[in-house]
Amino acid sequence: MCEPGPGDADLNDMLTAAARVPDHGKLAPWRFIIYRGDARQVIGQKLLEIAEAKGTAGSEAQREVELSRFTRAPVVVGVVSKAALHPKIPVWEQELSVGASCMNLVSAAAACGFASQWLSEWVCFDDDAAAYLGAQEGERFAGFVYIGTPTQAPFERPRPNLDDIVSEWKEG
C-alpha cells in the first residue's frame, strides 16, 4: 500500500460502516484509534525500544520491521476491544461484535477503492506496546487495519475446501 490514504470524508464513511455491526445491548464494545502522518514514525521508534527491551529485535532486519511497522500504509486504524463482563451480554458475543467491526472496516475500505489489511501481530498482545498505542485498562487490540492505495492487484491465498468445512444438519 502507498499514498494516498483515505481523506477524512472517506475515513469517516469507513468508520461509520465499521460501527454498524451486530451489537446486542447497544454496548459498542469497540473503539477506534487512528494513526497517520508523522506519528507513524514516532510509533515505530517506540515499538523498536519496547522490542529491544524485551530482547525480540536482535537482527537489523527485525529492527527495520519495528521501525516501519506503522508506515506500511498511510493510515492505520487500531480497533480496540472494550468487551467486559455484563449481566445479559456474554463477553464472547461482544468480542464477535468487535471482530465484525474489523471486517466491516476492511470491506468499507475496499468499497471506497482502497486496499486494506487487518493484522494483529505482537503489538496487540504486549501490554507495554498496547498501552503506548492507546489501550486503556481492561481493553485490548482486536487488530490494526492498514489502509492505503493498492500497489499491486490482490492475490488469493489458499483457502479451505468447502467440502471440508461445510455440513448440513440432520436430525440424528
Please indicate if the annotation marks 24 as binding a ligand.
yes
Residue with cell 498511510: 74
96 annotated as ligand-binding = no
120 is in an annotated binding site: yes
Contact 1, 75 (CB under 8 A): no
Cα gap 121→124, rounded to integer Å: 6
**Residue 118 known to bind ligand:** yes
Q: Is 107 annotated as a binding residue?
A: no
Helix, coil or strand: residue 37: coil
**Nearest one of 134, 142, 140, 136 to 33, comparing CA atoms:** 134
Angle between helices 60-68 and 39-53 (to 10 degrees): 140
Residue 57: count other Cβ atoms within 10 Å of its Cβ: 20
How far from each other are the two terminal CA atoms of the chain, in whole angstroms?
50
Annotated binding site for FMN: 20, 24, 118-120
Residues annotated within a binding site: 20, 24, 118-120
